[in-house]
Each structure stands twice: as C-alpha cells, then as structure tokens.
A and B are shown apart, each in its own frame.
Chain A
Amino acid sequence: MSPQTPPHTTASTPLRTATTLARQLGAPGPGTSIHLGADLTDAGAHPAAWRTSGSQGAQLFDPERLDALVATAQRGLLDLVAFDDAFSLQPHARGVRGRLDAALVAARLAPRSSGIGLVATIDTTHTEPFHVSKALATIDHVSRGRAAWQVSWSTDEAAASAFRREPAQDRADAIAEADEATDVVGRLWDSWEDDAEIRDAATGRFVDRDKLHHVDHEGIRFAVKGPSITPRPPQGRPPVVVRASDDASIDLAGRRADVVRVHATTPDEARDARAAVLDAARRAGRDPRDVRVLVDAFVVLADDDAAARARLDLLQDLQGVEWETGSLTHVGTPARLAATIAGWSEVGATDGFHLRPASLSTDLTLVVDRVVPALQAAGVFRTSYPGTTLRETLGLARPVNVYAASA
C-alpha cells in the first residue's frame, strides 16, 4: 500500500478560513481526496432514462453493459459504484421493472474490475444474517477487498407477502432489526481471526480453533451461533453504507455505518446532516473520523446549461411528471458541477458525493471525462487509487477484530 500524496488546493483566503473553521468542527481537511460514488441502479436515477437513446433499455440486465459502466467509473477513479435492490418489483408503470440480485451482480463484476468499490444492497428484514455475512465476505474475497454493504430494510407489504414470516414491520421496528443484523453480520466477519488458518502439518491442524469464535447471539428477533463458514474478509469488515434521513436512520448510521448517504440541497443542510451523523457516531462511542458522509447528487449534464435543461425536459416529458429528487440536483455543465462539488467539500459541508446520474449512458461518462479531470486539476480529487481495497480508498483503517481484541 502506497501512502497517498495529498493533492493541495490553492485556496483563496476566504476559502482557507472556511476550511480552518470547518476543520475545527471536525470537518474533512484539504489534505485528503474528496470521495465520489456513483449509483448504477437501473438505467439511471431518472425513471425515464431507459427510454432515451443510447441507454440500452433492452440490454438492462446484460452483464456486459454493467462491466462497461464499472470500467467507466473505474477510469474516473471513483471510490465506489452502488447497486440498489429490493424483494418487490418496482411498482411504477413506466419506469424500469425487474431487478437482479445485487450481491450476485457485485460478485460478477469483481473479477473484471480493480480499484473500485462494489456496493451491494442487501435487505435485513427478510434475510438471514448468516447468509448475508458470508455473501459479503465472499464478494470481498473475490474482489480482493473492494466489497461494501448498503444496508436496507423493508416495511412494504409487497416484500412481506413474498415471505409471509409476519406482517410488514413498521419503520422503527425494521430499523431496530437492521441494527441488530448489522451488529451480528459484523461479528460473524470477526468470528475468524485473521491468522486462524495455520496449516500446521506437524500437529495435523489446519486451523487454530482458539481463533474461531461462536458469536452466540441471542436476540429477540433471531439467534445466531456462528462461527461463520467463511474466513474473515480481506478488509476485515467490508464498509457498511447507510442511507440516513431521520432520527432512527441517523442513529443506525452513527452506530454501524462507515459511509453515510444523506440528502441536502444546500451546503448548510449538508453540514447539518453531517453534524447529526457524526454526533450519532460520538453518542455510540465511535470516533467520528471513522465515518464518511456523502451527499446524494442527482446530475443531468451537457455542454451548456440550456442543453442540460433540454435533456431534463425530455426525460420529464417522457415520464409525464416532475422529477423530485429531494437532494442536490445539478442540471448544467460539468464545469459547474465540479465547482459545486469542490465548493461544498472545501467549506467542510461534506466528505464527498454519491452521484446519481440521471442517465447512466450519458451522465456517467460526462462525470468521468469532464467532472473528474476538473476536480483533479483543482487538486481536490485523487489521481490514482491509494491502495487496492475500498477501505484504503475511503481512508478508513482496517478494523480491529472484536474477538482478538478481547482475547
């Protein structure tokens, strides 16, 4: 692992003052790269994206299309790409309908990519923590340390009736279960110490069984004995991603998340959201420096603002309704998006952005070919991956094993 050379900004005096202030507030300093993710769900964030030319609506489930998207994101040195998932079919009449299992998609993309993180969404309401743990550990093994888990929970009847274990849970209950599941999944990752496999031919022992641990979880909702059947993943614990929007999910994020996605439309909103998440982390006894907060940014790009606006108008006409995103929405040039990203980051409003290209076929390419170079020229974004794992890219330490620590 080569240490990252910090790209320095040539900040003007007011900017430097803001940065210093932000640093005192526990905000990210200028010495580190901002973090950029990209969402590769469906044909893009806009529900009509699949209908625009070049979006390959009929090839939406082809792995080669996904390989190409990941290659693009990787060319732009993005931190990660994320795939949404759910157990119910998208209800809308005119958007994309149909989903592939996100964990298997991430695994399929791993051997043909490098550097970039692969984030799979997995539900905690209707799944077994034991299966979730080994699936993510395995994506981390096949990607050699580039897996991450976006935790989701379901409160909809449609998903509940696919399992009918019990009626749909309310939100508080589902988030409480997500919290419990995330805890257990993390301990299952730790249930093998890193050096448990000894292959000691002299004594005939393949493992040192004192370094394998029952997790012995006895909760209200489930019990899990352990240890995992899968050795500890390369990252120790693949990063956990949580989308935080209200007190309950912010609390969950503070307790369990390494990467937190928030919605914000202004730097002030972003700063408040970030502060709330870091407070929650502190309350949970964690070091807030171990958490990266990313603002969801919806983007429609073109060479000039009018052309970008026209692209959005076309999408809206196709869909027949206004596009409501609830977070920063950039309709304009790549240069202006780069300025926004750099500006928000430099005032300490956020650690970076989770980009939601309106149309993957158009906007992701423009992000990589136009926005990223502008950010690199401004000295705020990396020019190479700092290591090989997602944790290294995110600047997050490999976690100490809870069982090794207590031994």
Chain B
Amino acid sequence: MTSPRKQVHLGVHFPGVNSTTVWTEPDSGSQIDFSSFEHLARRAEDARLDFFFLAEGLRLREHKGKVFDLDVVGRPDTLPVLAALAAVTDRIGLAGTINTTFNEPWELARQFATLDVLSGGRAAWNLVTSSDAFTGANFRRGGYLAHADRYARAGEVVEVARALWDSWDDDAVLADAATGEFLRPGAVRRVEHHGAHADVEGTFTTPRGPQGHPVLFQAGDSAQGRDFAAQTADVVFSMHSTFDAGRTFYDDVKGRLPALGRARDSLKILPAVTVVLGDSADDAEERARVIRRQQVSGPGAIAFVEQVWGRDLTSYDPDGPLPLVDPDVEGASITRGRVRHVADPRPVVAQWRDLAAANGWSIRDLVIAVTTRGGFVGTPAHVADEIDRYVQQDASDGFILVPHLTPHGLDDVLGTVVPLLQERGSFRTEYEGATLRDHLGLAHPDAIASAERAIAG
C-alpha cells in the first residue's frame, strides 16, 4: 500500500473590501445582496471545499480625512451572514473574522456556540487583533488598548470563551419530561475568570456546539502573532503565498509547535492566494495583466502613492512619471483603517524612483508592480500542479482562494482546478464527516484536552 498523499485544504474568501476586488466589470455583482454570498458558498460546497471565509473591518477606511471611495465600500455583518448561509448549505465550514479587542468574550462565546449549533458543527472564528484608536472610535470602550497588549487581550478572550464552551457538557440538554429536568444535573457549571482584560462570572447560556469549540483561525504575522497562533489556533491564515516565503513561514510556525506539546498537523497553514486561469500560459498571463490594471485604476494608483508620500498628489498624472516632490514624513498616516503601514517612507520612495527609472514605469506601472504578490497564473493543469506542489513540499497545507470578482470570480477555479486535484488524489471527492473539524482533520477539543493531560502527567 502506498502512503496516503498529503491532502490539500481549500477555502474560499468572499471578495474583500480592498483593491483586489474589481467592481468596474459589467458582471461584478453586489457585495451586500445575500445572493452573492449564497452563490459563492454553494459553488464551493459543490466542489467539496473545506470552508467559506469572511473578513471584517470595523471602520470604513479613510484617506485624507474622507471615506476612501475608490475600492468596494461596505459589507454586511459577519456572523449573521454565516448564520444565513447555514440555511442554504449543508457541509461547508463557515469561517468568520471577528475582532477580539472590540468584543466581549461572553457575547462572542454565545454567538459562536449559536453558529455551531445552527450549522451542525461548521463554525470557525478567525481571531484578529486590530486595536487602533481610529477603529475604537466606533465603540464604547474606545481605542484604549496599547498595541503591545493586543495579544494579551486576545489570549484572555479565547481562554474565557473556551471555558464558557466547556462549561456545558456535550449532552447537557436532557429534556426529561417525566422528571422536569431540562438540564442534566451537574452538566452545566459556573465559570469565573478575573483577569486584566476579561472579568466574567456566571452560568453560560448556550449549549455546546457539535464541534465543542469552533475551529480557531488566526491571521497575525508578527513574532507575537506567530506565538499566539502556535499556542491557540487550529488554522493560520497567512499572506505568504510564494513558494519560498511560504516554506519559511511554514517551518517557522510549525517549528513552534513541539515545545507546546502540539503535533505538526494539528495546525494548518493556509495562505491567501489569487488565481488567474487561461487556455495557455500566455493567455493566462495576458488575463492577469488586464486584471492588474483593473485593480489599480489611475486614481487608485495616485491614492496608493499618496499613502507613502504622505501628501496630496492628485495633480499628478498616473500615467506620467513619479512625483519629484519629497515625501512628507509628518503626514505619513493620511490613510487610516488599513492593515499596512510604512514606518519611514524615504527609503521606499528612493527605491521606487530607481525601479521606475530603470524600467521606464509610470506611477500606475510602478504601483501595479509593487502591489503584485504571489498568486497562481496559468492553465488549470498548471495551477493544480502548483497547489499540489506547495502542499506536498510543505510550503502550505492548502490555500484560501481570493477572487477578484463578486460573486462569480471563483467559478472557473472550482470547476476546473479542483477536479484535477481530486483526480490526482490530493483533494476529497466527497465530504467524509459532518463538521469543519472533520474536514480539516482536527481533533474534537475533548480529545485534545485528554492528550494534553497525558503529556502533562
């Protein structure tokens, strides 16, 4: 018997509120209407994918003091969309990004337990830790959290959430009509936690979901973020989608596991990746070039360089040369609500000027070049080869596929690349279990806890 192939795990990312998403195409649909979410989730389930994924941002991005209007703006609330999708899908995992700074553990634990119950064990929580005062202005607690404390709070929020999920036994609901005991005696226990970031006491309200705990994703990249992932997460959502960077990141994060008593395959690493298909390599390259130009419009290119220059550059022609004016070091944070920030713009500007001069690039050419990240471009066979190669050679455990069009952007990948991965035995042809933990090959938390006890004892 041959050893089983390492299996690829795949999720779909609903098109983001950023420049990856092209909205100017005639067939680009609504980012709000439920039919868009339903389309992508059902297509992904038809292709037997592991999960559907939603990002989150709790303040509309602003640029030069006004709402940034060049990308898609606006999205519905993460968890109600996933709960609604539970009604129109049966097996696919439902992963939602929820911030740990601007939410309380009691409420989060109920929401995720509810989603897990309503979906029959398909809930996942992507924990993010943004804690800036700009976003905090939308919340009663404000931006009170120092950057250094973001993972301390996240850790405590998760610890309390887990205690709350564990405070109900799996079989706590007895519903014994004869005796009138609705809950099994002793099966629901009080929780008490008094910490720096969470102070919680009481009897939890919500039954434990089929998964025990929802699957936990984490998407931080700093050393602290990687430690947090190794300690806490089941899945890391990474941005390292090139082969070499992927392998380095994979080794780094998986290397943190043994010291924590965790098996290497108990944590899946899934980079975000875009895919552009074509009938030939040249055809795909040409399509990718067209998409890149759609993603970086003229005004979008100017706004991008303004972020680095820290000043208004709207008088410049995006198809002309780079601004000769120097960056304004004081004005470096004219864009707010983005994840990316540049510490000192001067070396970046110098490097970009050299690049543009060497290649004869306009502003827009430069922005296209410097914002192009990994991503698979080619025929379906080539892309299937690449995905499998990354996974078999430990540059990832699979991918989160990011489309550029709403909601049809992944129809081609799901329809052509996935069957090729199935043919070669690297991707399931049928769901084997009912829960997202089953799809990802993750143990139920009770099994994990007893394994940890065995190690400790």
Contact = CB atoms under 8 A, between A and B. Distances in A.
Interface of A: 48, 50-52, 57-58, 60-61, 63, 67, 86-89, 93-101, 103-112, 126-131, 134-135, 137-139, 141-142, 144, 158, 161-164, 192, 197, 199, 201, 203-209, 212, 221-227, 229-231, 318
B117 A204 contact: no
A97 B182 contact: yes
Given A111-B38, A204-B299, A101 B110 contact: yes
B118 A206 contact: no
28 contacts: A50-B175, A50-B182, A57-B175, A88-B205, A89-B204, A89-B205, A97-B182, A98-B205, A98-B206, A100-B117, A103-B79, A105-B114, A109-B87, A110-B87, A111-B34, A111-B84, A112-B88, A141-B76, A162-B201, A204-B298, A205-B69, A205-B299, A206-B72, A222-B140, A224-B140, A225-B138, A226-B138, A230-B74
Contact of A128 (B137, B140, B173): B140
A108 B120 CA distance: 12
B175 A229 contact: no
A208 B70 CA distance: 10
Residue among A58, A97, A137, A192 with max Cβ neighbours from chain B (10 Å): A97
Interface of B: 23-24, 32-34, 38, 57-60, 66-67, 69-77, 79-81, 83-84, 86-88, 102-104, 106-107, 110-111, 114-115, 117-118, 137-140, 142, 168, 172-175, 177, 180-183, 188, 199-207, 297-300
A142 B80 CA distance: 8
Contacts of A110: 34, 84, 87
A154 B23 CA distance: 44
A242 B397 CA distance: 50
Contact of A111 (B60, B75, B88, B102): B88
Contacts of A161: 200-202
A57 B117 contact: no
Contact of A163 (B34, B66, B104, B118): B104
A164 B199 contact: yes
Contacts, number: 215
Nearest to B57: A229
B173 A206 contact: no
Contact of A225 (B59, B104, B183, B300): B59
Contacts of A104: 79-80, 83, 111, 114-115, 118
Contacts of B137: 223-225
B205 A126 contact: no
Given A130-B139, A142-B84, A161-B202, A61 B103 contact: no
Nearest to A55: B177
A88 B57 CA distance: 29
Which 5 residue pairs of A and B lie closest in terms of their CB atoms, listed nearest first?
Answer: A57-B175, A222-B140, A107-B80, A225-B137, A107-B83
A347 B77 CA distance: 43
Nearest to A113: B87
A135 B69 contact: no
Given A87-B205, A164-B200, 7 more contacts: A63-B86, A131-B77, A142-B81, A142-B84, A164-B199, A204-B297, A318-B180
